Chain A
Amino acid sequence: MGYIPHTDVERRQMLAAIGVTTIEDLFEAVPATHRFPRLKLPAPLSEVEVAREMLALAESNEHAQDFALFRGAGAYHHFIPSAVNHLLLRGEFYTAYTPYQPEFSQGTLQATFEYQSMMCALTGMDAANASHYDGATSLAEAVTVALQVTKGKRNKIILSPGIHPHYREVVRTYHQGRDVQIVGDDAPAQAAALADLLDDKTAMLAVQYPNFFGQIEDLAGLAEKVHRAGAVLVVVANPLALGMLKSPGSLGADIVVGDAQPVGVPLSFGGPYVGFFACKQEFVRKIAGRIVGESVDTDGRRAYVMTLRPREQDIKREKASSNICTNQGLMALGVSMYLALMGKTGLRQVAELNYHKAHYAADRIAALPGYQVNRERPFFNEFLVRCPQPVATLNQALVAEGIIGGYDVGQDYPHLAQHMLLCVTEMNPKEEIDVLVDVLGKVK
């Protein structure tokens, strides 16, 4: 039953070899008072029944294959070529462990090396690790690096309020046991004003690009101010936007982090996603997480292996800067496959499609009475709309028409009550956008 292959005969043979009569005899060290408790779980089901039950659960959700989705806010519905899923289902990839034995893991190792290379190309950085859990934890790990680089003499971290609210919460969760001061969230959203908070205690300043509201912040000049203050500039980036936008590296960033979910990973109700982490060469020994490097085998054949291992928890133990062990290996693999398929021109094309469609939607919504589109800064595929009605009311009306509306920003930013963050991607044909606009215009 289940996936256990043993027959009665085999069990008897094995018990005889061990020298016991029952399997239960092997548990003598477990306190007898607590041994073999009853488990109140549902009864076992056949594969047919499990699939049926789970299909019913799945179909009771309002998902992007049945609905027109205009919600982003850190998780995006994009086209993923079929080849990605087919290749990810190769058992040789997904049923392998971490490539600790390079002779038996060249597939995973080379793919990871290629992933690192692609992340360097997108971000304009020198080095990338094999990934973190998600974009938020990548940012939290960047804080640790900044604290290390400034050798514990600086403990102030400036976070832009334009960084995803969950990301900022995660940074606070991660560093609650340390002497760290996290500021800036309550300052105006523009990157320039954040620079006024820089001082000789500042280890790092982080901005998001494009920011949580979809706006492309002006990074030019920011790096110089941050560096003059002796701090590290961290940019949280959307990798799809980097298909068209200048790389943060070219604008002076020291560390670029973010979630690579938009480039090849399904929404999946929030995870698993994949946090990328790229940095300048000088920081590479301070960063956490697995890193793959190129080398040769004893025949001189080019091959790949995990390197800079002494940074990691299994070697450094209590002296390690992070306890991270797993990376998001399979998601990073999917991301490399996606980026390989898209390639140089495809990724640019998808990014521009997002840009054009979002602007078309914004222009049409701006023309509706009572709606105001925020155009303070250029935007990518998301934009902020001030609505004539509460966002929840609008979203209820939209769902009835088969549309999942934008994110209610007032939940996280009280001064932005009645503001909807809309996301438009290559998955939204013009007709869907037109229906969205029509419904929004009709809600009374």
Chain B
Amino acid sequence: MAALNYPSDLKYAKSDEWVRVEGDIATLGISDYAQDALNDLTYVEYAVEPGAKVAAGDAVAEVESVKASSEIYSPIAGEILAVNEALKGEEDTINADPYGKGWLVKLRLSDASGLAELMDAAAYQTYCESR
């Protein structure tokens, strides 16, 4: 089994989402740990559409594998700019490239304070390895 990746430029939530912040734009996806635990992903459904406002902790999507299902929460507040439609039918992209082409939603940050709650890569790795 290949070692799991924890890119250092990202922030991580306890519920296994990652966030990449560029200016006031945040991209969100699920971590390598999460895709590995879920195994082959077969379905993604978005709970939000572009333009929707979300609060920190709101569900934005649901991902499914053969024998598991997981809700994806936005750890930060903002306005949804885009959802990754390219994943429909190509859900294995999340398994192959969770931090790149496997992103789920992009949002415009309305309140950056939520970011402070998130873990850095080292803390998240420690957290994952203790589970």
Task: Give A contacts to B, CB under 8 Å.
Answer: 285, 309-311, 315-316, 319
A311 to B42, CA, bound (A): 13
18 contacts between A and B (CB under 8 A): A285-B43, A285-B45, A309-B66, A309-B67, A310-B43, A310-B64, A310-B65, A310-B66, A310-B67, A310-B68, A310-B69, A311-B69, A315-B67, A315-B68, A315-B69, A316-B69, A319-B69, A319-B71
Using CB atoms, name the residue of chain A closest to B65. Answer: A310
A316 to B45, CA, bound (A): 15
Using CB atoms, name the residue of chain A closest to B38. Answer: A310
New A-B pairs, 11, CB < 8 Å, besides A285-B43, A285-B45, A319-B71: A309-B66, A309-B67, A310-B65, A310-B67, A310-B68, A310-B69, A311-B69, A315-B67, A315-B68, A315-B69, A319-B69
Task: List B59-108 residues whose CB lies under 8 Å from chain A.
Answer: 64-69, 71
CB distance from B124 to the nearest CB of A (A): 25
Q: Which residues of A contact B43 (CB under 8 A)?
A: 285, 310
A304 to B45, CA, bound (A): 25
CB distance from A163 to the nearest CB of B (A): 32
Q: Which residues of A contact B66 (CB under 8 A)?
A: 309-310
Q: Which residues of A contact B65 (CB under 8 A)?
A: 310
Q: Which residues of B contact A311 (CB under 8 A)?
A: 69
A310 to B65, CA, bound (A): 8
Q: Which 4 A-B pairs have the closest CB atoms?
A: A310-B69, A310-B64, A309-B67, A316-B69
A390 to B59, CA, bound (A): 60
A310 to B71, CA, bound (A): 12
**Binary contact readout B26-56 vs A (1 if CB under 8 angstroms, 0 otherwise):** 0000000000000000010100000000000
Q: Which residues of A contact B64 (CB under 8 A)?
A: 310
CB distance from A396 to the nearest CB of B (A): 57
A178 to B43, CA, bound (A): 28
Using CB atoms, name the residue of chain A closest to B43. Answer: A285
